[in-house]
Each structure stands twice: as structure tokens, then as C-alpha cells.
Structure 1
């Protein structure tokens, strides 16, 4: 073949196949959420999960906090100063050295926009001789876990304009951003001077594909090496495809019904108990989630030791008891079978979103199940942002959302604080709506002052018990994560605490 003909054939092949010559050495990750902006506040988790950003500490599969960019740390006797001894010879993606001054400046710039670390009330960050010291306004025992807030990674000075505004993501992780095509995806390239295990695969393409069926088709066609959030209904199809296989991993996540307790039809805790008794969790877990053991009769899943309690009285299916409670409270069935009281119809609209394919299906199951106690449930499927908007303006009646307990910070108290122990507006589709508990707030405050893990256990039980008894949210099912993994890929191990995807440990089979 002549040189010109060979080149023409080569170009044609490249245009036809997304995984031709050069692409064979590119890892393609497909995830359900698109990166709308290249910032750490809204996109911090995706950036960390895909190996771009890091902070001073990291977690292991048991959610224990381990050294990362800091080799060790010390705490002052009064609990107000935390000093971190930085790992030497760490290089940013732009080739500059990670100095104490750069680390301190990064935290000072990003702390005001932090999502969860704001609860630690950091007063100052200062650089020392190979160290960075945080001064807190008050003792805060879980500070190490809060340092994993992905909104506040360690970034190079070149990430910021002279005004302090974040203009680029120049970090320390095993991959650096080569190109951002928002909201479609990111092109990443290996950081050859990485301080840890240098990535085996040179290039990564990360695509945000919200539509679950599109993600399934990508997996079936072998056009994705690691495809996240596979619907249960597609698992057997993918396993039979020969291109990919399914890896299932339990995750600390609950699907829950959000209830606006300021609405008269939900204000009484006994009404919320009746709603809970009407839910057939086993049927939902078995038919929709593909695993009956995922039925959630309390807020925390069994794997979360110290937070899940076998002796709690479970909220299980009992339609007769639900109807007895409603009869006793004076909610009378109308001619159409729907109850009402004092002119208030026993009804509500449930908002949910499609990015998690199982949510609209669970909503339809709840619609049928709640009708058995005379409740008229309508459903609206839309953008997930509509739920917190409705929570904040008071118009939400019901929502169906999810909560990953250690999604950003590997300590459940972070989520309990933002969901159930603050007056600040909600930023995502979770947490209490119109509900306030001084007992919960006191338990959270006591936990944050308690450094002894054994002394924390009674407080953990108290917080879990409050949620079980007062039902500001009604747990429906736990979930597992289903990944479609290419047959050409090896080394993938799911992170059970969902802090990262160790892409630098993956390789292609010979």
C-alpha cells in the first residue's frame, strides 16, 4: 500500500471507530452526572473521583482517614490547632512544587466556598516549616474527615487569578485536565510526576451521560471501559454481551421519601408512621433493586457499624395498622376512597428525578401502595434541582431522593448536620423539610466535641433513634452500585465508601 493510501485508510478508521489505534490506549469512564462548571464547589466530587484533585488526607475501604498530601498530623491539647506535616517532593500538574505557602493559600481561597467543611469553623490557615496549621474557632473532633470535602482540594497558585477567583483546576492527582468540554466531559492525561502510584493508562476520557439507557447501550457496544449506574433491568443483558461484565458493590446510600411536615397531611408523626407502614419495602427492593435484602427499615444500612441497630423496631409493611392510625386520627375515606380531614385531602405530589433510573419506578410503586390507605399520590419527574428549590420555598409536599451518607466526607455526622441540624437552605434533594429537632442538634454538637470513638457510640444511637422515631424522612430501600466493566480492563475494585475511583491502578489486558 502506498503511503498516501495507507494514510487515507488510517484516517477513515479513526473517523469510524471511537476506539481505534490511539483510542485503544484511552480509558473511557461514563458517569451519570455532567460537570456543569469547572469548579470545585459543584464539580469537586467528580474531579476527585477521577483522580484530578486531592487533599491532605484520604480514606481506606473502611472509611478510616489516612495520610495523603500530609504524612502525619498533630492536634493541640485544646483541640483548636491542627498541624499537618506535608509530604515532600509533591509536584502540581503545572510542574511547580507543593509548598506550605501554596497549600495554605489554596485553603484560604477555597474555604469560603466549601460545602461541608464550613461546619468546622476554620478561623485561619498558616504555613510553617514543611507544615500547614489550621486554627479553629472551637474544638471540632471530626475535622480530619471534613478535610475530605471535595470542594476544598489542594490547588496550585496558577489555579487562581490575582483577584483570588478560581480560573483553572491545577492539582496534584494522578491525572491532570488536558481539555474540558463542558458539560459533555473531560480529557485527562497522566501526571508523570505523581507522588504516588503513577497511572498505568496514559489517557482518560470522562463523559457525563445522564440518560441511563444510553449508558447501557454504551456498555453493550463495548464503547465504555467503566460505566457507572447501570439499571437493574440491564444487568443480565450486559453480563451476556461478552463486551463487559457487571461488578456490584454495596454502598452507604438510602432511597427515602422526603416529607414536608409543615403540610397538615404530614404534620403529625403518627401520619408519617402510617405512610411508612403502607410501604412494601421488600417488594420494591426485590422487583426494582434486584435484591430483597436492600429493603430499608431504618435510615442507616447494616454495613454502617455503630449507626445501624438491629434492636430498633422496624417500619415494615402493615396496612391494617396504617389504616387504624388514620381512622383514629379522624382521616375519613371519601366517595373516591381518598381520605380527608377538615377540608384537607390526604394527597400530595411527589417530585423526583430521572438520573437514577430506579427513582421514577419506585415512585410509581409507592403511588400504588399508598392508595391502599387512601392516599392520592401524584408524581412529577424533572430536574433534581427542583426538589431543594421546593424545599426552600416551602412548596414541596413529597420528594423521592437519595442520600449517600459518606458521599463527600467519610463521617455520617456531616450529612446529619446538613440534613437535620441546620437552618441553612438545602442545596440538594435530601434532608428535613419543615422539621426541627433540638435533640438532634444537641447530639450533633456533642458528637463534634467528642474525640473518643467509644464515647461517641451512645450519641450515634441517639441520632439514629431520633430519625427512626420521628420520621422526618421515610427510608424505602438501600442501594448497591452496579458498574459495567470492560473485558479489556483489569484492576478495578469498587470503593465501598465512594470517595474515589482508583483509575491510576487500572490497566488494559495484554
Structure 2
């Protein structure tokens, strides 16, 4: 799982459109997928800094780590930063349906094992060099290299011969066949619901990223992390750590040079993003929705506003490799003993709900019927801890085998409401809770090394219901929770082994029930966001699957 990437009362404001809403029952009340839009009403109120920009669009981004290469970053903000630079063969539209980008179209064989991609004619990378099927083959080969240890688990696609290549038994991958410069055929060995997106991801230039490639040696790519070059709508210009990432429109983009010449991702602190938007430092910013923020944005007059559910969820990792967390009763007690509703109320002020299953309510797979919802129950938590052998000792802290139940909690937010609530809740059930606030990238590093007890994160945008649960598979390379459950392993695979959505719904519902019995982490919240767009910006349509990246080529500034 790539962590924490985002999609990046006034009488003068009026609600101009409202989408159809869907509501489903949830223990915390009603989960609403309703979205609302409010158009800007007074462009004369635009800040002078905004009016002065004639060819530049500025959006906020939180904490990039500087690894600007698809498949190799660990920080989801780097994913946001690379999206303008690298184009995929296939992407998702605003409804989550696949659409061709670099691929004009594709064919899938009757047995659903062979994919043939037909690339658009005359594709080029931003440096003017041709983009061909050879680049697609190189990208997929790189992901099979034994030295590759990134977030993309290409083995899920089961390309024929991929395992042999990875193990050094073959010098090429049998299932990858370049038919001609615009056609590539990829044969897989098992049906996988995610194969289309796995095979149709962002394309790397063989000439640029493969010129120094040697099997089993990928360290050379680190020198190119800060020098990205792709076939997306924008080309990389400059990265100033802690300040901004600058881009320039790519004249070689397949759909034509973007309408707005310059793109800037300004690195911001979430506590200052509203102020920066108000003063014209940003053309676009996303906020955790709350009534005060929405009303303040409306009062500006120059802001177009969208509110609605975010296609992610927030949770707290539990390090299942720690001895004290191996018993599921302890993990269950951590959930029962935490007032998650209070956390949601404090954090989102009516614009969030308690999460009970690891998928967003906007997903077709959402179904929490019959799932243990772990409503706050301190007495139940105490009973479970007693059952697991943790007895109350000196100072009210539970002990077992001479070890005190002390939990270290990692967060990147100084105002994290989990801290005061968990301190009080866990003290009540005999657990000492010790928070530590750190830089987000340092937190990600500790997760990767399993050097933590509890750590709070949010998922990236969920493209498929398998995304948030795949890493829970016992042998997954990015199993940061250190979780292992044979039944969960089986259901994860079953959920990917059919393209039939109705069958997949049933499988994921069963998986959610099993995770309710044997929890891997503490689910905390679903949230809504408020997205603010400067009224002079046209063509920007943030969605729940690609954020703002799909809109970037179409953004223009009203004259």
C-alpha cells in the first residue's frame, strides 16, 4: 500500500449542482456518498496574485520525498508528483472504468489470459524520442527483476515466464511479445481482475531508464529519481525540497500540448492551506471537510467548491510481529477499547464516519452487513486482555511474563486527535500509550522496517477493492503489518481470480467478515473532503480515482 496520497455560510454562494447520492447503513450512522458543488459567484474578489497568473496553475501537495519514478517510491505524495510526468497505457475514468491513454485500445482473449495492447500512433516521450511497444516490454521486465523491491507486485499478473526470469532461469519473459512498434501481446497464466491495470501502467523509457540496466542491479536508477522523464502531459522542470515542484507543458504529449504552460505543486502544511488559497498562493487545494471550512470557502466568492466522500480510509497499523500483538484477543481489545466515534467527531466535525471494513463506501465492494463493528466497549476490551493473559499490575498497567503492556504510537500530526483520546481510553483498560510525532517520510521508513507498535496512516486512492488488502497476504513484500492468516490469503487470491463483479462482491464480503474476527489493524475513519478551485480555472474536475491528474491537460485560465 502506498501511503497517504491524496487527490490533492454565505448568502452570496449558491448550490448549483448536486450529484445523486447513495447511502448505506453503518454503525456510526449513515455513510453518505453524496457530492455537492458550489460555483464561484464573484470573480472580482479573486486575489491579485491569482489574477496575475496567466499561464500557471498551482496546487498544494503535502510531503513529497523526492523519488520521482513510478514503481519505486514509497511515499504516496511522490505518486502525485510523478503523475503529470508519466502516462499509463490505461487509466480509470471518474466512475472507475478503464479508459485508454497511451493505448488506443486493447483485446482480451476468450480465456481472459492474453492481453493485446494497441498503442496510439507516433507516441513520443517528452525528450522527443519514440515511445513503442519495446518500452512497454522494458517496463514490465524491470518489474520482474530480482532486485526490484517496490510497491508494485507484478507477480499478481502472472505473466508467463515472469517467475523464471525473476529467478534467473530465463533471459527474457516468455509471455511478453512485441508484435510491432505499436502492438504488444502479453500472455498470463491465471485470470486476475487487476491484470489490465497491472499490465497497462505508466511507461518508462527504455533508452533513458534502461541504458545502464543490468540484471539484478537497479541501484543505478537512484541517480534518476530526481531527473524524471516520461510521456505525460507535463515534463519535470525543478524540485526545491520543502518548497515546490515545477513542471512545464509537454509539447510532445499525445493529446497535444496542455493548455496551461506551467504547473507548480507547492509544498504546504495542511494547517496553512486554507490561508494560502485565500491569499492566492494556490489555485487548488483539498481540505478535510467541516462546516466551518466549507462556509469560509463559500464566503470568499471566488472559489468553486466540491464536497464529497474520499475514496480512501484512515487506519492505524498494528505491528503483528510484536509478541504482544500476536494474540488476536489483544488486537481486538485495542479496537474495542478505543472510542473511534469520538476520534471521528473531533477530527471531521460531522463530515466523517467510523470505518468498519477496509474499503471506501464509494466502492462497489462496500458491504459491512454482518461484520463485527467493534462498537466502543471498555469492559469487553478488559475481558479480552485478561483472556490473553495480561493482568493488571503496579500503577494499573497490565503485565504478562514480566513485560508491561506499553504501546508506542507513531503519527506525523501534532494535532492528531487519536493521541488524547487513546491515552485516556487505553489507560482505562490498563495500557500505557506513548505517542511520538515524526516526519511523515520517517514514519513510512519505520513502517517498511516494521520498527513500530502502532502507526497511523491513510490509504492512497482505492482503484480496486483488492488494493487495501493485498498487502495483508502472508508473503506480500510490503506486508508492513506483519499479518498472516491462511483464510485471508485464500480470499485475497479468490477476489482477484475472477472478472465477475458479483462474484467478487461475495468474496470481499467474506474477507471483511474474516478480518472482523482476526483484525490486522485498527480501522478508524471514512472522510469527506472539500476541494477548492479558483474561479478563474476551467477544466479541472477532481475525481475519486485519479484526483486532479486526469484533468491537468485540460486546465485553462479564464482571460
TM-score, normalization by structure 2: 0.76
Where does structure 1 differ by over 6 angstroms across 4 or more consecutive aligned residues? none
**Is 1:376 paired with 2:427?**
no
Structure 2: where are the runs of 5+ without partners? 1-47, 163-172, 214-219
Q: Say if 1:348 and 1:376, in contact at 8 Å, map to a contact too.
A: yes
**Is the alpha carbon distance of 1:147 and 1:381 closer, same or farther for their aligned partners in structure 2, counting shifts above 3 Å?**
farther
State the alpha-carbon separation in 1 of the partners of residues 109 and 397 from structure 2: 61
Residue of structure 2 in register with 1:366 after alignment = 422
**Alpha-carbon distance between aligned partners in 2 of 1:156 and 1:394, rounded to the nearest angstrom:** 33
Aligned with 2:484 (options 407, 431, 436): 436
Determine the structure 2 residue equivalent to 1:126.
177
Instruction: Indicate yes or no: 2:501 matched with 1:453.
Output: yes
Aligned match of 2:472 = 419
Q: Output the CA distance in 2 between the equivalents of 1:38 and 1:395.
A: 25
User: Secondary structure of the equivalent of 2:128?
Assistant: coil
Tell me the distance in 2 between the aligned counterparts of 1:492 and 1:382: 34
Q: Do 1:197 and 1:505's aligned partners in 2 also have CA atoms closer than 8 Å?
A: no
**Aligned to 2:334, what secondary structure does the other structure show?**
helix
Cα 1:231–1:101 shift into 2, 3 Å: same
Q: Do structure 1's residue 142 and structure 2's residue 201 form an aligned pair?
A: no
How far apart, in 2, do the equivalents of 1:225 and 1:477 lie? 28
Q: Mark the CA change 1:216 to 1:418 in structure 2 (over 3 Å): closer, same or farther.
A: same
Counterpart selection for 1:298 from 351, 357, 363: 357
Kept in 2: contact 1:127–1:133 (CA 8 A): yes
Paired residues of 2:50 and 2:280 also in contact (CA < 8 A): no
CA shift, 1:115, in A, is: 2.6
Aligned position for 2:151: 115
Name the CA shift for 1:97/1:417 in 2 (closer, same or farther; >3 Å): same
For 1:225-304, list aligned pairs within 5 A. Answer: 225-229=283-287, 236-242=295-301, 244=303, 246-291=305-350, 293-304=352-363
The CA distance in 2 between the partners of 1:121 and 1:138, in whole Å, is 6
Paired residues for 1:145-184 under 5 Å: 145-147=197-199, 149=201, 153-160=202-209, 162-164=211-213, 167=224, 168-182=227-241, 184=243
Q: CA deviation at 1:444?
A: 2.0
Cα contact 1:178–1:188 (8 A) shared by 2? yes
- Contact 1:283–1:292 (8 Å) recurs in 2: no
- SS of the counterpart of 1:400? strand
Residue-by-residue CA offset, 1:462-503 (whole Å, 9 max, x unaligned): 222222111110101122333332233233322112455312
Deviations, residues 239-258 of structure 1 (Å, cap 9, x unaligned): 54556465333222222122
Matched, 1:27 2:61: no
Give the drift of 1:91. Answer: 3.2
Task: Pick from 253, 265, 277 the counterpart of residue 206 of structure 1.
Answer: 265
* Match of residue 337 from structure 1: 396
Distance 2:256 2:341 in 1: 43
Contact 1:278 1:318 in 2 (8 A): yes
Of 67, 76, 80 in structure 2, the residue corresponding to residue 46 of structure 1 is 80
Instruction: Answer yes or no: is 1:483 the counterpart of 2:531.
Output: yes
Give 3-state SS (helix, strand or coil) of 1:288's partner.
Answer: helix
Q: Deviations over 1:313-354 (max 9, x none)?
A: 311122233234344555443453333344332321111223
SS at match of 2:348: coil
Identify which range, 218-227 or 259-268, moves more after superposition: 259-268
Counterpart secondary structure, 2:459 = strand
Is there any run of 5+ residues in structure 1 with no aligned partner, and where?
A: 1-16
Matched-pair contact (CA < 8 Å) for 1:116–1:414? no
Shift of 1:87: 1.8
Q: Which residue of 1 aligns with 2:377?
A: 318
Using a 3 Å threshold, how does the CA distance of structure 1 residues 92 and 385 change in structure 2: closer, same or farther? closer
* 1:66 lines up with 2:114 in the alignment: no
* TM-score, normalising length: structure 1: 0.82
